[in-house]
């Protein structure tokens, strides 16, 4: 039995609240159960220096956690003077994932900066971030089209992410914190609407995992991501 009493292949309740804050071109509060992340998409009419004059745009991401989003207070990264290795891994993952479904040439010479800030953490902050960031990005792109700055959308597909893991010997979907901190294997999967993988990151926390465990986890992830993409579509139509 999972601590949350969910069945093995059930997501936590997921909510995507658009227009959550008012300044950003896209702003979404994403909730995977008690995990809550504010995802904003900011449009900037310039590109990083390595892309100047190359006729294409860029999508990048930054990630942070409020110091008391977690059970015990973490040190504020702005105060300690650097982002942790974990933070950098996550924000690189979010950026790569979103770029996988954006035609950067069609975006034109502009940059969209995604900020994912966790205000409450209960496991799965990176997968919630990717799932919510896609909706914020979509709103920002829609704004560019509405303003006549783009004639067609550079977005090529949906993208969403979920964690899966082996918890007490069983493959389960969408780990919450009690599962995440106790599981033997933890895998984050990022997948497109077409059902193709953009990222598969599996880590044995304790016992190494077999090929058949890997397959069971991927099956669960595919099911979960299909549901998340349906929720994204619903949110974007409302």
The answer to whether 100 contacts a copy of itself (rule: CB under 8 A) is: yes
Which residues on adjacent β-strands are paired with residue 204?
Answer: 185
- Kindly provide the b/e burial profile for residues 8-27, where b requires at least 16 CB atoms within 10 angstroms of the residue's own CB: eebbbebebebebeeebbbb
Instruction: Tell me: does residue 162 bind a copy of itself (CB under 8 A).
Output: no
Residue 44 three-state SS: strand
Binding mask 25-44 toward a copy of itself (x if CB under 8 A, else -) reads --x------x-x-x-x-x-x
Spatial separation of the C-alpha atoms in residues 238 and 235, rounded to whole Å: 5
H or E element in which residue 131 lies: helix 125-146
E strand or H helix at 31: strand 26-32
Q: Is 124 within any annotated ligand binding site?
A: yes
Can you tell me which of 1, 5, 7, 22 binds a copy of itself, judged by CB under 8 A?
22
What are the Cα distances from residue 81, in Å, to 47, 76, 90, 233?
26, 9, 18, 39
Q: Which of 2, 31, 115, 125 binds a copy of itself (CB under 8 A)?
A: 115
Tell me the HSE value of 89 on the side-chain side, using a 13 A CA sphere: 9
Please, what is the minimum distance in Å from the beta carbon of residue 107 to a copy of itself?
Answer: 16
Measured CA to CA, the distance from residue 129 to residue 137 in angstroms comes to: 12
The stretch among 8-16, 63-71, 125-133, 160-168 that binds a copy of itself (CB under 8 A) is: 63-71
192 belongs to the binding site for a copy of itself (CB under 8 A): yes
Least distance from a copy of itself to the Cβ atom of residue 174, Å: 19
Residue from 64, 124, 154, 224 in contact with a copy of itself (CB under 8 A): 64
Contact residues toward a copy of itself (CB under 8 A) are 21-24, 27, 34, 36, 38, 40, 42, 44, 62, 64, 66-71, 73, 76-79, 81-83, 85-89, 91-92, 96, 100, 113, 115, 117, 119-121, 187, 191-192, 194-204, 207-211, 214, 218
């Amino acid at each position: 039995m999972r601590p949350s009493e969910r069945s093995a292949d059930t997501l936590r309740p997921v909510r995507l609240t658009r227009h959550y804050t008012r300044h950003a071109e896209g702003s979404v509060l994403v909730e995977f159960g008690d995990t809550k992340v504010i995802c904003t998409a900011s449009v900037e009419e310039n590109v990083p220096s390595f892309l100047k004059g190359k006729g294409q745009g860029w999508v990048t991401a930054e990630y942070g956690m409020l110091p008391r989003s977690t059970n015990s207070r973490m040190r504020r990264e702005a105060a300690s003077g650097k982002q942790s290795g974990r933070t950098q891994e996550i924000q690189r993952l979010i950026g790569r994932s979103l770029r996988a479904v954006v035609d950067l040439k069609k975006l034109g010479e502009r940059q969209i900066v995604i900020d994912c800030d966790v205000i409450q953490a209960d496991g799965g902050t990176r997968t919630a971030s990717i799932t919510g960031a896609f909706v914020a990005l979509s709103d920002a792109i829609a704004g560019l089209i509405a303003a006549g700055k783009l004639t067609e959308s550079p977005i090529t597909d949906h993208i969403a992410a979920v964690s899966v893991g082996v918890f007490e010997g069983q493959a389960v979907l969408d780990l919450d914190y009690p599962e995440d901190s106790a599981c033997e294997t933890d895998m984050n999967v990022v997948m497109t609407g077409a059902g193709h993988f953009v990222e598969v990151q599996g880590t044995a926390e304790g016992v190494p995992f077999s090929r058949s465990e890997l397959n069971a986890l991927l099956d669960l992830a595919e099911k979960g991501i299909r549901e998340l993409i349906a929720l994204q579509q619903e949110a974007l139509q409302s």
